Amino acid sequence: MTDTVPENRADKNLDKFYRARITKRTDLAEDLWTVRIQVGGEFKFAPGQYATLGVDGPDKRSERAYSIVSSPYENELEFFFELVPQGELTPKLYKLQVGDELLMRKIPKGRFTLDTKGGRTNHLLVATVTGVAPFVSYVRSLYKDWKEGKFAGDHKLFLLEGASRSWELGYCEELQKFALEVPWLKYVPTISRPWDDLKWVGETGRVDDVLRKYADMWGLTAADSVAYLCGHPDMIEGGKGILKRIGFTKEVVKEEIYWIPAKEAAAT
């Protein structure tokens, strides 16, 4: 065990937080890992929402938003993290191992949920690296509903997941398995640095570069589809431009930008 949350932080609204305990950690690459946590209290969320996680340092509490990977049906929460070496919180999260505690705000947030009410039944999901998290939550939830006869497969998901190399494609195996089994999910992982990954035989190119090709191939149009872009700010910018050119106005494009590039952050 490394860090735990100090017990005597009464001054810092601790009643707004759960002390969650890590029950599992899986390292995918040197800067990418997943954890499962036991929250220790009620936490009702919708697939696509995020939790606010925190760690107390000697003088300050650091908190950031993290999309929830797990479905609301699971009894633990799961997250997919990328280490930002110069960042404030991720180096602290990176030190945490099974048995360690972290803080989690008791209220989930976010509107990056699957739009099943707007009349469009195709959902084009586009992610970079950890940006796949909310989409895994959609798929796990729908899969359980499908198995229990609560979801008829009338909404179709088309998921494009991009990373530099294949080992950075979190949840690739799980998503491939789902896509083979159910008729309502298509899944294409793509890598942008195939020269670093010579065994890779799948799609290549940045996810926004292949977006147009797959939207056309799957016959997705703004009349029947909603697009969801999640993760890297440049992918979201590029993806929105491509979608706009094929008629996706902003009403049918949802986005979850994970960070603001440093130069823009400095200007605001």
> Which residue ranges make up the site for ligand FAD (CB under 6 A)?
50, 64-67, 79-82, 84, 86-90, 110, 130, 133, 256, 258-262, 265
3-class SS shares of the chain: helix, strand, coil, % to 5: 30, 30, 40
CA 56 to chain centre: 24
In angstroms, give the least distance from the CB of 228 to ligand FAD.
13
In angstroms, give the least distance from the CB of 107 to ligand FAD.
14
Residue number, 8 or 268, with CB nearest to ligand FAD: 268
The residue at minimum Cβ distance from ligand FAD is 87
Alpha-carbon Rg of the chain, whole angstroms? 19
In angstroms, give the least distance from the CB of 223 to ligand FAD.
28
Residue number, 220 or 239, with CB nearest to ligand FAD: 239
Angle at 229 between CA 72 and CA 236, to 5 degrees: 145
Residue number, 84 or 179, with CB nearest to ligand FAD: 84
In angstroms, give the least distance from the CB of 57 to ligand FAD.
11
Show Cβ contacts of residue 140 under 8 Å, excluding neighbours closer than 6 positions.
47, 70, 71, 73, 74
- E strand or H helix at 145, and its extent? helix 133-147
In angstroms, give the least distance from the CB of 221 to ligand FAD.
28
Residue number, 27 or 88, with CB nearest to ligand FAD: 88
Pairwise CA distance, residues 207 & 210, whole Å: 5
